[in-house]
A and B are shown apart, each in its own frame.
Chain A
Amino acid sequence: GDSVTQMEGPVTLSEEAFLTINCTYTATGYPSLFWYVQYPGEGLQLLLKATKADDKGSNKGFEATYRKETTSFHLEKGSVQVSDSAVYFCAPLPRGSRLTFGEGTQLTVNP
């Protein structure tokens, strides 16, 4: 069946550090891929997406590239800020199906 594996948290970084959160998936066919972010006390919101192989999604300094050969969609940011502290969810969307959310990775950025 369809599934997603995310890097376990929590992740704690200092401001301006480089961030990588790994995400790999198994899905039928070629799904669209999403990263959602949940700030404290809020619902999830879309961070970025990619709909086909080799696409790069980007937003707010975050990037993720759709890697078909490794079935991965790792999230990266070159220099994190305290305001990036949140929980990040990877979510593949197989065609004709519905979103499957990963377990979420808690990120804390210290000043």
Chain B
Amino acid sequence: DAGVIQSPRHEVTEMGQEVTLRCKPISGHNSLFWYRQTMMRGLELLIYFNNNVPIDDSGMPEDRFSAKMPNASFSTLKIQPSEPRDSAVYFCASSDRGANVLTFGAGSRLTVL
């Protein structure tokens, strides 16, 4: 298995632009998580899905952030409009038994100028 695949690995954009981050979880895993990592706040859970259904989105910072999981093999995290304070590394992770052992992707490093 190729593991959790995220794209893009790096994104540099200007304030106000829309950003879409993508994630392909491990086949057969039924839970998917989006995390954000910054020096100031550490690792924050943004949202997680079970069987493609959003379960807890209380970590999503504000309405500019949205996440979807249209099927078991794909999820997106969208920021519109982006702001410099959104600059971070965004990780996707999946697991096959609720929030037990997580397998993380390599992350998407976002820089908003």
Contact = CB atoms under 8 A, between A and B. Distances in A.
A110 interface: no
A70 interface: no
Interface of A: 32, 34, 36, 41-46, 49, 89, 93, 97-99, 101, 103-104
A101 B42 contact: yes
Most A CB contacts (10 A, CB to CB) among B43, B99, B101 go to: B43
A103 B43 CA distance: 7
Contact of B100 (A32, A42, A101, A104): A32
B34 interface: no
Given A43-B93, A44-B91, A46-B101, A98 B107 contact: no
5 contacts: A42-B107, A43-B91, A44-B43, A45-B104, A99-B102
Contact of B42 (A42, A98, A103): A103
Interface string B73-101: 00000000000000000010100001111
A36 B56 CA distance: 22
Nearest to B107: A43
B105 interface: yes
B45 A89 contact: no
Nearest to B31: A98
B42 A104 contact: yes
A36 to B, nearest CB: 8
B99 A99 contact: yes
Interface string B4-45: 100000000000000000000000000000000000001101
Contacts of A101: 42-43
A90 to B, nearest CB: 12
Contacts of A99: 45, 99, 102
B100 A93 contact: yes
B104 A43 contact: yes
Contacts of B103: 45-46
A89 B106 contact: no
